[in-house]
């Protein structure tokens, strides 16, 4: 189910304008089996809006989270570096904010429990997550887990004014009713409770021109400026901020009731950086949309040239963001290789390109390899030296087309 937005999700202003239109496409993680190929495939508009009041950046049409996250097959534990990152986060939070094992730690969207499991043994914890599959894994680890979507109602029932820490990683961009979510967080926090969340920084997406990270799962593209205003409206002060190089860059934001914790210079540093890039101004987003179109033209040109010369182009990695790129540009790939067993044998949503195990490249030598998982470009070049020598052309599509 799709809802068209006529107001800003952060501040409720009606003064929102469309700044980018990527066309209509299926959800980026809706990979198809061979049997699915003959069936109708629902597509939804993918357009980005800018709020002239609070400067928030968000999708103009929002899918019902129940359609995306109930049967979600993404597990944190599948990504080694992410698990390590979360373990370090748990250690740091425990050391900085936890005084006794009786302090309650709540995680919203805690997935398979990869973060909560790293808190000291015996710590009172609670995971709230809507995904059936992830909840099973979390419970199997012995983590008290509530299966369901987070909102202010469930917050009141489960942990009214009692949480020392509320953690929400990679969910603040995903919950359409973010105002209700922040109200829920505030409801759960003890008087000296801390709300910590990690979210992709729009500043990073903007600076890298990583527009393929725009897809239906990501409802918001946050700047600290817009988030800070929202948190303050619900009585929370941002007192610290750090950034980490995860999938580009995430901001780790710390908020609490005003005056409870000293304010570091992290938040003002981030705000200054956002201001220096004019992320509070509408015309910046119009320039950004122009850059998106330029990349599309480049990719279409590359693809047309390859076709004209009879050269084959194979995709490397089938990340969700690759589907935004393929569906928006309409470029042709002969096939894609990906290490994920669940994706192998399937087809990409919308573009219907078949996905094979990487071993296919042991016997096949395409003319070009397009690195769709471009955020891993460095490590791919490192691990595929032999293939690189044989193929010669590793094309990276972002920020503008370049050769690895």
Q: Which residues bind ligand TMP (CB under 6 A)?
A: 317-319, 338-340, 343, 373, 375-376, 380
Restricting to residues 12-31, which ones interact with Zn ion according to CB under 5 A?
A: 13
Q: Which does 356 bind (CB under 5 to 8 A by kind): ligand TMP, Zn ion, none?
A: none
**Of these partners, ligand TMP, Zn ion, none, which one is at the site of residue 365 (CB under 5 to 8 Å by kind)?**
none
Q: DSSP letter string over 25-92?
A: E--TT--B-TGGGGS----EEEEEEEETTT--EEESEEE-HHHHHTT----GGG-HHHHHHHHHHHHH
279 sits near Zn ion (criterion: CB under 5 A)? no
Minimum CB separation of residue 247 from ligand TMP in Å reads 6
Query: Does residue 188 contact residue 217 with C-beta atoms inside 8 Å?
Result: no
Using the rule CB under 5 A, is 51 a contact of Zn ion? yes
Residue 349 in contact with residue 46, Cβ under 8 Å?
Answer: no
Q: Which does 317 bind (CB under 5 to 8 A by kind): ligand TMP, Zn ion, none?
A: ligand TMP
11 binds Zn ion (CB under 5 A): yes
* 142 Cβ neighbours under 8 A, 6+ residues apart: none
Backbone angles phi, psi at 263, to 5 degrees: -90, 125
Nearer to Zn ion, 219 or 246 (CB): 219
Question: CB under 8 Å to 139, separation ≥6 — which residues?
Answer: 145
Smallest gap, in angstroms, from Cβ of residue 14 to Zn ion? 10
Burial class (CB in 10 A: 0-12, 13-18, 19+), 367: middle
From the list Zn ion, ligand TMP, none, pick the one residue 51 interacts with, judged by a Cβ distance below 5 to 8 Å according to partner type.
Zn ion
DSSP 328-345: HH----SEEE-S-TTTTT
Q: Which is nearer to ligand TMP, 127 or 375 (CB)?
A: 375
For the CB of residue 16, give the shortest distance to Zn ion in the complex, in Å: 7
The item of ligand TMP, Zn ion, none sharing an interface with residue 319, based on CB under 5 to 8 Å by kind, is ligand TMP
Q: Is 174 helix (H, G, I), strand (E, B) or coil?
A: coil
Residue 8 interacting with Zn ion (CB under 5 A): yes
Distance CA 389, CA 378 (A): 15
Task: Pick between residue 158 and residue 318 the one whose CB is nearest to ligand TMP.
Answer: 318
Comparing CA positions, the residue from 133, 188, 179 lying closest to residue 158 is: 188
Q: Smallest distance, Å, CB 78 to ligand TMP?
A: 9
**Nearest CB to Zn ion, comparing residues 30 and 56:** 56
The radius of gyration of the chain's CA atoms, rounded to the nearest angstrom, is 22
Residue 340 contacts which entry, Zn ion, ligand TMP, none (Cβ below 5-8 A, type-dependent) = ligand TMP
Give the CA-trace dihedral at 319, 320, 322, 324, to 10 degrees. Answer: 180
Residue 19 or 314 having the CB closest to ligand TMP? 314
The gap from C-alpha 250 to its chain's centroid, in whole angstroms, comes to 9
Q: Which is nearer to Zn ion, 13 or 92 (CB)?
A: 13
Q: Which residues bind Zn ion (CB under 5 A)?
A: 8, 10-11, 13, 51, 53-54, 56
């Amino acid at each position: 189910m799709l809802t068209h937005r006529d107001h800003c999700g952060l501040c409720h202003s009606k003064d929102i304008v469309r700044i980018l239109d990527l066309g209509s496409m299926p959800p980026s993680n809706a990979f198809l089996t061979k049997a699915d190929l003959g069936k109708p495939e629902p597509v939804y508009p993918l357009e980005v809006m800018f709020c002239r009041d609070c400067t928030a950046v968000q999708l103009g049409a929002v899918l019902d989270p129940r359609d995306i996250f109930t049967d979600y097959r993404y597990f944190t534990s599948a990504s080694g570096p992410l698990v390590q990152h979360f373990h370090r986060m748990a250690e740091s939070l425990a050391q900085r904010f936890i005084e006794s094992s009786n302090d309650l730690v709540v995680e919203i969207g805690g997935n398979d429990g990869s973060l909560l499991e790293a808190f000291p043994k015996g710590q009172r914890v609670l995971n709230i997550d809507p995904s059936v599959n992830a909840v099973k894994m979390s419970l199997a680890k012995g983590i008290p887990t509530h299966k369901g979507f987070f909102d202010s109602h469930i917050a009141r029932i489960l942990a009214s004014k009692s949480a020392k820490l509320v953690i929400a990683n990679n969910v603040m961009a995903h919950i359409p009713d973010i105002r209700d979510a922040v109200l829920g967080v505030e409801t759960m926090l003890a008087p000296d409770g801390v709300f910590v969340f990690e979210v992709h920084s729009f500043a990073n997406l903007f600076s890298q021109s990583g527009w393929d990270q725009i897809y239906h799962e990501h409802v918001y593209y946050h700047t600290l400026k817009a988030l800070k205003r929202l948190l303050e409206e619900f009585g929370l002060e941002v007192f610290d901020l750090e950034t980490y190089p995860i999938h580009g860059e995430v901001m780790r934001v710390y908020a609490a009731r005003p005056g409870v914790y000293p304010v570091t210079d992290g938040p003002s540093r981030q705000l200054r950086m956002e201001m220096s890039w004019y992320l509070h101004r509408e015309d910046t987003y119009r320039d950004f949309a122009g850059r998106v179109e330029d990349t599309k033209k480049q990719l279409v040109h590359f693809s047309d040239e390859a076709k004209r010369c009879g050269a084959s182009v194979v995709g490397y990695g089938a990340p969700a963001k690759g589907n935004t790129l393929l569906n928006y540009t309409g470029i042709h790939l002969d096939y894609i290789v990906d290490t994920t067993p669940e994706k192998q044998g399937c087809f990409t949503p919308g573009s219907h390109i078949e996905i094979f195990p990487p071993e296919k490249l042991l016997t096949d030598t395409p003319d070009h390899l397009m690195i769709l998982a471009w955020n891993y470009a460095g490590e791919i070049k490192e691990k595929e030296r032999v293939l690189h020598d044989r193929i010669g052309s590793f094309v990276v599509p972002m920020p503008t087309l370049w050769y690895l």
